[in-house]
Amino acid sequence: MPIFNESYHTWDGYLKERPGTWFVIAKTGVKLAWTKGLIFILIFSIIPFFVGAVKIFLFSKVQDVGIMTPQIKKIVEDVSFFYDFLKGQMFYLILISIFTGAGLIARDRKNKSFGFYFSKPVSFWDYVAGKFFITGAYGFLVTGAPALVLFIIKVLISRDASFLSNYYYLFFSILGSSILSVITMSSVVLAFSAVAQNVRTAAIFFFTFLILPDILRKIFSNVPFIGVFSLTALLKQAQAYIFNVQTPYGFSDISMITAILLILLLSLVILKLKVRTTEVVS
């Protein structure tokens, strides 16, 4: 006698009307993105974190011994230490964005997977939010997360509560600046992924979009405004603005905010046009 027959069995469970279908997409995407290449990037991205942690530790020891010099203080000067750390992590954020984000929508377009998603109770916003979370989560893992851990280490290693009381706002600066970088970078990479039909094209588009304006900025260094066309320059300027340190580029804050908002808006428009919940048959 067979253990069970092969006939169809009904299912008597209950289907939840989930508002968070995006989370199912995000969760699955995060799992799918976890590959050897990504682990490799994550391992490399953690090196600056360890260097930073050692610096904090040594700084506290130097403080204990009482041989603080202006040169030493400059290395771990409280605000610029975190600002510099996040600025340095931009490279890893770009790598992670390309690695996790370039194929997210391009692959679905190539494999005609929109039909799979949108024949289920999945809306445009669920889909985009889910995909966005995948890149965003890994992006935050190399920017905000290590910076926040460094901040906590710094608080714990301090002899008294003076660091926390003087620099508590750094927590929010780290959070704000990394979230802004992650959101902008993820939006752009997803927009390129939606435009391209395959991963490689999306990655090349995205990389060109990042590199070309930077090259132009360096060629026309006497025209500071050209920096608003460079995403990395915009994000570094925004980070400086959030940390309230000397801004590295010559364009105004208003130009920076407007340019970032325009990039976000343009990315959303591209996503809206390319991620069609309904097919367009010509």
Write out the residues near other proteins by the rule CB under 8 A.
6-11, 13, 15-18, 21, 24-25, 28, 32, 107-108, 111-123, 277-279, 281-282
Q: Hey, what are 62's tokens?
A: 């130097």
* Whole-number Å distance between alpha carbons of 83 and 174: 8
CB of 9 to other proteins, least distance (A): 6
* Whole-number Å distance between alpha carbons of 231 and 46: 23
CB of 158 to other proteins, least distance (A): 42
What DSSP string describes 31-83? HHH--HHHHHHHHHHTHHHHHHHHHHHHHHHHHHHT---HHHHHHT-HHHHHH
Q: Which is nearer to other proteins, 183 or 203 (CB)?
A: 203
CB of 130 to other proteins, least distance (A): 10
Task: Give, in order, the Cα–Cα distances in Å from 149 to each of 30, 108, 166.
Answer: 22, 35, 18
Q: Which is nearer to other proteins, 113 or 244 (CB)?
A: 113
Q: Which is nearer to other proteins, 31 or 159 (CB)?
A: 31
CB of 38 to other proteins, least distance (A): 13
Cα-to-chain-centroid distance, residue 212: 20
Q: Which is nearer to other proteins, 26 or 150 (CB)?
A: 26
